[in-house]
Amino acid sequence: MTQQETEAKAKAEADAKAKAEADAVAKAEADEKAKADAELVPRKELNATYARMKQAERERDELAKKFADEEKAKLSETDRVKKELEEQTKAAERGKKALATVERMLEAEMKSLPDNARALVPEDLSPEEKLEQVQKIRASGLLGKEHTITTPGGKPARTDGKQFTSADLQRMMRDPVEYDKNKDAIQAQVTANGGRLEP
């Protein structure tokens, strides 16, 4: 074999070896790329996952808003009920005060009626109805004409137009404040009755 042939053969072997090494490197790179691609999430699947995540966020936000609206509605209803309760409580208090006032007026009116006239007021009536009945009795004229005695200043001795009785006087003697308040009226009545308390 000639030198030339030997060199050609060595060159061919070197070329073959270099090509084999290059092919091996290219194959290793291709395998590595294929492996890396296999490990990556495909874009389509990634987009689907992202869409599901956004949908879950929207649903969460909607639920949070719905819950907040329900809580607000509950608070509004609670406030409304609380306000109604306060108004009813105030109305009940006003009703109690009004009833107490009516009962005081009725008591004063009943005390001023003669015994026989008190029997004309049925016991089973409410205080308001009793007071109305007393006013009807007075308006009917059943009690006769009431004589008004005035004090020296010209004011009525009693606001109900009746005369003080000895029982009234005895009661007032036990209550100095009431006696002081009515002493002018009592004196006017005694003067009008010719020196006597009762005619």
pLDDT digits (tens, 9 = 90+) for 73-96: 887 888 888 888 898 898 888 878
The answer on pLDDT for 129 being more than 70 is yes
DSSP 150: B
Q: Between 12 and 173, whose confidence is greater?
A: 12
**Do the Cβ atoms of 155 and 180 come closer than 8 Å?**
no
pLDDT value of residue 6: 77
**Do the Cβ atoms of 122 and 136 come closer than 8 Å?**
no
User: Residues 111-135: what's their mean pLDDT?
Assistant: 81
**Do the Cβ atoms of 132 and 146 come closer than 8 Å?**
no
pLDDT value of residue 91: 83
User: Residues 145-154: what's their mean pLDDT?
Assistant: 46
Strand partners, 150: 156
The answer on pLDDT for 47 being more than 70 is yes
Residue 81 CA, distance from chain mean position: 5
Q: Between 184 and 150, whose confidence is greater?
A: 184
The pTM of this model reads 0.35
